[in-house]
Amino acid sequence: MNAEKGCLAIVLHAHLPFVRHPEHDEFLEEDWLFEGITETYLPLLARQEELVREGVRYRLTMSLTPPLCEMLADPLLQGRYLRYLDKRIDLMKHEVEAKKNSPFEDAARMYRDILGRSRELFHDRWGDNILNGFRELQGTGSLEIMTCAATHGFLPLMLTPEAVRAQIEIGCRNYEKHFGRRPRGFWLPECAYAPGLDEQLARAGIKFLIVDTHGILLADPEPVYGVHAPIVCPSGIAAFGRDYESSKQVWSSEEGYPGEAVYREFYRDLGYDADYAYIKPYLHADGVRRNLGIKYHRVTGKVELHEKHPYVPSWAREKASLHADDFVANRRRQAEWLAGSLGRTPVVLSPYDAELYGHWWFEGPDFLADVFRKLHYNQREVTPVTPAEYIERFRVNQVATPAGSSWGDKGYYEVWLNGTNDWIYRHLHAAEERMVALATKHRDERDDVKLRALKQMARELVLAQSSDWAFIMTVGGARPYATRRTNLHLDRFRVIADQIESGAPDEGYLSGVEGLDTIFQEIDHRLYAREA
Amino acid sequence: MASSKSVKKASQKAGTKKAVKAPAAAKTVKTKKKNVGKAVVKPSAKRASAARGAPKKAVSGKAKPAAAAKPEKAKAAKKKAVAIVKPAAKIASDEKKSAPRKIAAKAVKKVATQAETQKAKAHRTKSQRLRMQRVKATRGKAVRPSPASRAVKPRKAAKPAAKPPVEVEKPAGGATAAPEARIGARRIGEPRPELVAEPQPYIDHGPLLPDSYGGNRLAALARDPSRIYAYWEIEGLDKLAAKAARWALRIITGSGESYDVEIDPAARNWYMPAKGAETYDVRIGYFDAEGGFHIIAAAKRMRTPRGHRVPRTRAQWVDALAAEPGRPIPLVSESPYAMPSPQFRRMQARMRRALPIGYGITSFGKRAKN
């Protein structure tokens, strides 16, 4: 330990909006979750288990957001995931035959094995609920799980303090439900911070949060150690800042690792390549060609999609290991330089979207596991830590308030507030105010139906507040769906609110909506009540 | 990789836009009027230009769909697709029956050669023709009742019209998509017939929200250090119009500045320039003929993000673990660490100038700019 020059905290933010449509037998957007499980969450879980088995000392911090946890723990979606998986497994049986003696043979076998293994892990090992796996890993002390706002609501753009408080507290209570204790870390949705949020988080018992680089560098007063030490807000919460260098190495689509030629190409998918009649049984019932997650080509270089070369799994695996070497070497150099110039043991905190690992960058989970192996076996300068551990070891830190910021394009709130999505705020704010008024009025409501109605209103409000909808409206991809979800939840909210105000909730309607939007069964509408 | 990603992104984007367009056109008479002259041609031209235009956004400039990579395979698929959908003989007989085909063909001439038109005819499915007739029929009905379109109405247009394309309570995403309602969105003259048989996703934007929530309201939100977004609702705007000479947002900053931003109250929202790390009180109101300002609504006080550095002051230190919620944290008399070197400070200054980084976020189906 004497040789330690610095600490490295890798943070993965795992989040998906709540997408659950029991009213349909299958639903396109539910595939986000299924792809996430196969490509990101299960591989991350499996690689960590490997590390534990090998006796590698590693530290990883992950935020598993409440909607993601609620989906992973939902029996309907678990059943649908198994069905999805079985369909893919069936497809790969045909594919392995079809690709025999072709340059795609190895890749086809790889997918068959991955899918088979996924089924084993998901069903046999974790009883259809992979949260069991994450909970167990957290118990080893190697993984620290953070929570997040209830539905990843964009906190700085909310109108009432009650709505912010409810988003925070619903998130914390949901964490308790799934992980059996209060959370220590809170992932600010979209890293979006505005001064004052830390006070609300401190009241919820949160110990640390993460902001983007400029949130720390432009903090008040200017932090002496930049992003290489946390600052402590006057409310007592420690704020860590994102390290620029390590972010760029992985994030950048130009210079970053994922752009490497031998890695798997994301956009060339069997769903579009295969003969239509052959692939149709594996598509959704509407028969529209979509990604199936079976991708046989490598990035190759800056060429057209049809010019991509076949993917060779062994080459990619080797490259991931080399990139892990490079990442570790760079962190060692960084730690050495910082140790000499900083005056204290620096922390380098590298947050990434978890879905980058596996879903976008297929080899990401292997890379990550290799990074931890190499940190463990090959060197002593860089110690992997969780943010909470760093504070425990280096308790004294500078007082400062982070600057308002986010990790979106341009660094502030524009991704979530621009011409494509600004129309949502007048509706969201009106709903917030109505929720606060009704929750305050019915603080001690005893009527069972009215209580259910108030809780469902709260569910509809938080679902509408999900920052994903505004994000998708900006970047595209599933714009109609995002618009529809915003409209739908606000409409259901309005209908139930009208019914409560008229004094007679329609139980039939209420039951219908309760069956659709099942998130947060534990929700408490009184979180929205104005403090007396 | 970057190139391939953006290429595909661009083509996906084009697809989405086009898909969204269709229901929008059906929504308002205004839109219909706008498009009527171009009738069937416009979407076709749009599609063509979208296909050409999309790759321009991309780095390398030549997007080719994956299927185009294998012309042989594509040909086979095309044969199969046509065979599945309809035998050629049936197509021919259907064509005879449908009166509006002539008009459609005329329109097609504007964008495609005669040969292409013939090719398109051959590959058109029954549902495509139905859709074309419907589009023509409704357009004719709304704005330009021509004899040809009138003739169509009673015959075929009635059938698809019975199926509303958007059901409020039905989620989007393709689960219950009515494929034939979308097939027609494929363009005439489309030289990739294997796509003709494949349906498009079903689009539904959900229920309509209220236009207003009653009363006078104004809210202001910070977009970034240099912009504020404000939205408002004013009750009885028409009645006030008689009294109001002009409307404005009155802005009072925390540092005591006060100024008005003239607005059109009917716009209902506005972006205004701002300064970083400043508090703002925004009000909306109107000037009467004598120049008196009447406030209609006031927004909650808000603050913009800083966006610039704060001059360094003497640092204060605390024990992070000594903090208790609701109590001021006790300060530690001095820092146990050494101070950073000048090189480190210079590096920090360089980094501050490069900020913010804006390395984005990913989401399923889309990776944010980075």
Select from A410, A434, A458 the last residue of a domain: A410
Residue B353: closest CA among A334, A213, A230: A213
| Tens-digit pLDDT profile for residues B77-124 | 444 443 333 434 343 344 444 434 444 444 444 444 444 444 444 455
Does B171 sit within 8 Å of A299, measured CB to CB? no
Do residues A397 and A456 both lie within one domain?
Answer: no
Six token digits for residue A142: 């190697």
Select from A387, A410, A433 the last residue of a domain: A410
pLDDT category of residue B350 using cuts at 50, 70 and 90: confident
Whether the per-residue pLDDT at B249 is higher than 60: the answer is yes
| Residues from chain B contacting residue A212 (CB–CB below 8 Å) | 356-357
CATH number at A147 reads 3.20.110.10
Which residues make beta-bridge pairs with B306?
none
Six token digits for residue A18: 């709540």
Top pLDDT among A251 and A70 is at A70
Do residues A391 and A461 both lie within one domain?
Answer: no
Whole-number Å distance between alpha carbons of A4 and B234: 63
Whole-number Å distance between alpha carbons of A432 and A81: 34
Mean pLDDT of A112-119: 97
Distance to chain A for B57, nearest Cα, Å? 14
Strands B217-224, B331-332: pairing is unpaired
Does B219 sit within 8 Å of A286, measured CB to CB? no
pLDDT category of residue B244 using cuts at 50, 70 and 90: very high
Whole-number Å distance between alpha carbons of A499 and B127: 43
Does A218 sit within 8 Å of B355, measured CB to CB? yes
Whole-number Å distance between alpha carbons of A502 and B255: 46
Q: Determine the pLDDT at residue B240.
A: 92
Six token digits for residue A15: 């989040």
For residues B306 and A218, is the Cβ–Cβ distance under 8 A?
yes
pLDDT category of residue B359 using cuts at 50, 70 and 90: low
Does A304 sit within 8 Å of B64, measured CB to CB? yes
Tell whether B349 is within 8 A of chain A (Cβ).
Answer: no
- Flag whether A160 is in a domain: yes
Does B175 sit within 8 Å of A285, measured CB to CB? yes
Do residues A330 and A248 both lie within one domain?
Answer: yes
Contacts of A332 (CB under 8 A, 6+ apart): A5, A379, A381, A382
Distance to chain A for B289, nearest Cα, Å? 31
Tell whether B15 is within 8 A of chain A (Cβ).
Answer: no
Whole-number Å distance between alpha carbons of B46 and A373: 53
Six token digits for residue B71: 């012309």
| Tens-digit pLDDT profile for residues A182-202 | 999 999 999 999 999 999 999
Mean pLDDT of A325-348: 95
Mean pLDDT of A107-116: 98
pLDDT category of residue A253 using cuts at 50, 70 and 90: low
Of A35, A289, A408, the CB nearest to B360: A408
Q: Determine the pLDDT at residue A251.
A: 79
Does A225 sit within 8 Å of B358, measured CB to CB? no
Tell me the one-letter amino acid at A43.
Answer: P
| Tens-digit pLDDT profile for residues B306-341 | 998 888 788 999 998 887 766 778 888 888 899 999
B227 to chain A: closest CA residue: A414
Whether the per-residue pLDDT at B3 is higher than 50: the answer is no
Do residues A383 and A337 both lie within one domain?
Answer: yes
> Measured between alpha carbons, how far is residue A347 from residues A183, A341, A350, A393 in Å?
21, 13, 10, 11
Tell me the one-letter amino acid at A298.
Answer: R
| Residues from chain A contacting residue B209 (CB–CB below 8 Å) | 427, 487, 490-491, 494
- Flag whether A387 is in a domain: yes
Tell whether B115 is within 8 A of chain A (Cβ).
Answer: no
Which residues make beta-bridge pairs with A351?
A11
Whole-number Å distance between alpha carbons of B356 and A217: 10
For residues B304 and B278, is the Cβ–Cβ distance under 8 A?
yes
State the helix-helix crossing angle for A467-475 and A423-441, rounded to 10 degrees: 170
| Residues from chain A contacting residue B311 (CB–CB below 8 Å) | 221-222
Q: Determine the pLDDT at residue B100.
A: 42
Top pLDDT among B111 and A85 is at A85
- Flag whether A146 is in a domain: yes
Distance to chain A for B217, nearest Cα, Å? 9
Q: Determine the pLDDT at residue A236.
A: 92
Six token digits for residue A87: 């369909």
| Residues from chain A contacting residue B337 (CB–CB below 8 Å) | 343-344, 396
Tell whether B287 is within 8 A of chain A (Cβ).
Answer: no
pLDDT category of residue B136 using cuts at 50, 70 and 90: very low
Q: Determine the pLDDT at residue B278.
A: 96
Of A24, A265, A405, the CB nearest to B175: A24
Top pLDDT among A368 and B143 is at A368
| Residues from chain B contacting residue A27 (CB–CB below 8 Å) | 171, 173-175
Cβ neighbours of A231 (radius 10 Å): 30
Whole-number Å distance between alpha carbons of A199 and A196: 5
- Flag whether A366 is in a domain: yes
For residues B151 and B141, is the Cβ–Cβ distance under 8 A?
no
Mean pLDDT of B266-280: 96
Do residues A405 and A457 both lie within one domain?
Answer: no
Do residues A388 and A438 both lie within one domain?
Answer: no
Give the CA count within 13 Å in the CB-facing half-sphere of B33. Answer: 3
Do residues A393 and A450 both lie within one domain?
Answer: no
CATH number at A476 reads 1.20.1430.10
For residues B198 and A288, is the Cβ–Cβ distance under 8 A?
yes
Choose the mutation target among B4, B18, B280 for the interface with A, i.e. most A CBs under 10 Å.
B4
Q: Determine the pLDDT at residue B198.
A: 58
Do residues A12 and A137 both lie within one domain?
Answer: yes
Cβ neighbours of B334 (radius 10 Å): 9
For chain B, the average pLDDT equals 62
Of A248, A268, A411, the CB nearest to B355: A411
Six token digits for residue A219: 């903090």
Contacts of B145 (CB under 8 A, 6+ apart): none
Distance to chain A for B168, nearest Cα, Å? 9
| Tens-digit pLDDT profile for residues A238-247 | 999 999 889 8
Distance to chain B for A526, nearest Cα, Å? 21
For residues B118 and B153, is the Cβ–Cβ distance under 8 A?
no
Whether the per-residue pLDDT at A83 is higher than 90: the answer is yes
Domain count of chain A?
2
Whole-number Å distance between alpha carbons of B260 and B291: 13
Do residues A33 and A153 both lie within one domain?
Answer: yes
Do residues A334 and A427 both lie within one domain?
Answer: no
Six token digits for residue A146: 């953070």
Mean pLDDT of A174-180: 97
Of A224, A479, A485, the CB nearest to B16: A479
Whether the per-residue pLDDT at A411 is higher than 70: the answer is yes
Run of H or E including A400 = none
Cβ neighbours of B178 (radius 10 Å): 17
- Flag whether A274 is in a domain: no
Residue B285: closest CA among B242, B253, B240: B240
Whole-number Å distance between alpha carbons of B281 and B251: 6
A269 to chain B: closest CA residue: B66
* Strand, coil or helix: A213: helix
Whether the per-residue pLDDT at A473 is higher than 80: the answer is yes
Whether the per-residue pLDDT at B165 is higher than 80: the answer is no
Expressed as residue numbers, the domain containing A19 is 7-86+129-260+314-410
| Residues from chain B contacting residue A202 (CB–CB below 8 Å) | 323, 325-326
Tell whether B158 is within 8 A of chain A (Cβ).
Answer: no
Q: Determine the pLDDT at residue B201.
A: 58
For residues B230 and A417, is the Cβ–Cβ distance under 8 A?
no
Positions of A annotated as catalytic residues are: 190, 353
Six token digits for residue A173: 């209570």
Whether the per-residue pLDDT at A413 is higher than 90: the answer is yes
Whether the per-residue pLDDT at B51 is higher than 90: the answer is no
Does A410 sit within 8 Å of B356, measured CB to CB? yes
Print the SS3 string covering chain B: CHHHHHHHHHHHHHHHHHHHHHHHHHHCHHHHHHHHCCCCHHHHHHHHHHHHHHHHHCCCCCCCCHHHHCHHHHHHHHHHHHHHHCCHHHHHHHHHHCCCHHHHHHHHHCCCCHHHHHHHHHHCCHHHHHHHHHHHHHHHHHCCCCHHHHHHHHHHHHHHHCCCCCCCCCCCCCCCCCHHHHHCCCCCCCCCHHHCCCCCCCCCCCCCCCCCCCCCEEEEEEEECCEEEEEEECCCHHHHHCCCCEEEEEEEECCCCEEEEEECHHHCEEEEECCCCCEEEEEEEEECCCCCEEEEEECCCEECCCCCCCCCCCCCEEEHHHCCCCCCCCEECCCCCCCCCHHHHHHHHHHHHHCCCCCCCEECCEECCC
- Flag whether A505 is in a domain: yes
Q: Quick one: A379 exposed, middle or buried, by C-beta within 10 A (0-12, 13-18, 19+)? A: middle
Residue A189: closest CA among A161, A157, A218: A157
Six token digits for residue A67: 């909607």
Q: Determine the pLDDT at residue B161.
A: 36
Distance to chain B for A373, nearest Cα, Å? 27
Do residues A235 and A357 both lie within one domain?
Answer: yes
Where b means 16+ CB within 10 Å and e means fewer, A452-484 reads: bbbbbbbbbbbbbbbbbbbbbbbbbbbbbbbbb
Dihedral over Cα of B114, B117, B121, B127: its sign = negative
Do residues A354 and A464 both lie within one domain?
Answer: no
Question: Cα Rg for chain A, rounded, in angstroms?
Answer: 24
Which residues make beta-bridge pairs with A349?
A9
Q: Determine the pLDDT at residue A374.
A: 98
Dihedral over Cα of A507, A508, A509, A515: its sign = positive
* Strand, coil or helix: A210: strand
DSSP code of A123? I
Whole-number Å distance between alpha carbons of B121 and A266: 36
* Alpha carbon distance, N-terminus to C-terminus of chain A: 53
Whether the per-residue pLDDT at A338 is higher than 50: the answer is yes
Select from A383, A410, A437 the last residue of a domain: A410
Six token digits for residue A333: 């150099």
Whether the per-residue pLDDT at B167 is higher than 50: the answer is no
Of B5, B59, B203, the CB nearest to A266: B5
Contacts of A100 (CB under 8 A, 6+ apart): none
pLDDT category of residue B351 using cuts at 50, 70 and 90: confident
Whether the per-residue pLDDT at B237 is higher than 70: the answer is yes
Residue B193: closest CA among B77, B47, B51: B77
Q: Which of A118-127, A468-477, B61-70, B257-266 has the lowest mean pLDDT?
A: B61-70
Q: Determine the pLDDT at residue B328.
A: 76
Whole-number Å distance between alpha carbons of B67 and B195: 10
For chain A, the average pLDDT equals 95
- Flag whether A398 is in a domain: yes
Tell whether B243 is within 8 A of chain A (Cβ).
Answer: no
- Flag whether A93 is in a domain: no
Whether the per-residue pLDDT at B209 is higher than 60: the answer is yes
- ipTM strictly over 0.85? yes
Contacts of A323 (CB under 8 A, 6+ apart): A257, A260, A367
Dihedral over Cα of B196, B199, B201, B202: its sign = positive
Mean pLDDT of B19-38: 36
pLDDT category of residue B36 using cuts at 50, 70 and 90: very low
Does A221 sit within 8 Å of B310, measured CB to CB? yes
